[in-house]
Amino acid sequence: MSKQKQKIDNPHKRKMEKLKKNIDASINAANRQRGIGILLTGNGKGKSTSAFGMVIRSLGYNHKVGIVQFIKGQQLSGEEIYIRDKCPSVTFHQMSTGFTWETQDRSIDIAAAEKSWSKAEKMLKDDNYDLIVLDELTYMLSFKYLDEDKIIHALKHRPIHQSVVVTGRGGGTALKSWADTVSEIKATKHAYNQGIMARKGVDL
C-alpha cells in the first residue's frame, strides 16, 4: 500500500470505527419493545406518501393494517384503488365528503368527521391491528371538528404493540407531546405553484 493511500485510508478507517461505535451504542440503548406513535406534519408534500410507505412495509410482515383518511375528496385515490383491489385484509375508511372548502357546511363536515373517528376509535381498541394510519387527522383538530382530549386519550390507551401514524399540517402541542417520533416536512418547492397539474400516481 502506498504512503499516499495510507494517508487517505487511515483517517477514514478511524472515522468509520468511531461512527460504528456510536451507532452500535444507540442501537443497544433502544431496548424497549412497544408500538410507536408517529406524527408526520409540516407544509411540504410527502406526509401521506410516507405513511402509505409504512403500510406497504407493514404488509410485508403480514401485519394487520387499518387506515382512516380524513379531508379527502370524493374521487378514489390511487392508494384506495390498490388497497381495495389488492389488499382485502386492510381495513380502509375514507371520509369522502369532499374537501371541507368544497362542502362549506360545518355541520356536514363535523358529522362526517365523527363517523370517521368512530371507525378509527374502534381500531385503536382492537389488539388485532399492528399499524393504524390516521391520514390528515390534524385538520380535524385544527377545525375543531373532533374533541382533542378524546383523541389523545384513545391514542394513549391503545394496545401496547400497536403503532399509529398521524398525518397532516399542524397538529398542536398535545399531538406532538403524545408522539414518539415527530417529522416536519418542509415545502421548498412545489409543482402546483408552477402551474403543473396534480398527477395520478404521484399526487392522486
**pLDDT one-digit tens code per residue, 18-70:** 878 887 777 777 677 899 999 999 999 899 989 999 999 999 999 999 999 99
Report helix angle 78-86 to 47-59, nearest 10: 10
- State residue 10's pLDDT score: 74
Q: Where are the domains of the chain?
A: 1-31, 32-194
Q: Is residue 134 a contact partner of residue 163, using CB atoms and an 8 Å limit?
A: no
CATH of domain 32-194: 3.40.50.300
- Cβ count within 10 A of residue 54: 17
Task: Dig out the grid coordinates for 47 from the structure.
Answer: 406526509
Give the span between the Cα atoms of 18 and 200, in whole angstroms: 45
For residue 10, the SS3 value is: helix
Predicted TM-score (pTM) of this structure: 0.84
**pLDDT one-digit tens code per residue, 75-124:** 777 888 898 899 999 999 988 665 555 556 888 889 999 999 999 999 99
Pairing between strand 131-135 and 65-69? Answer: parallel
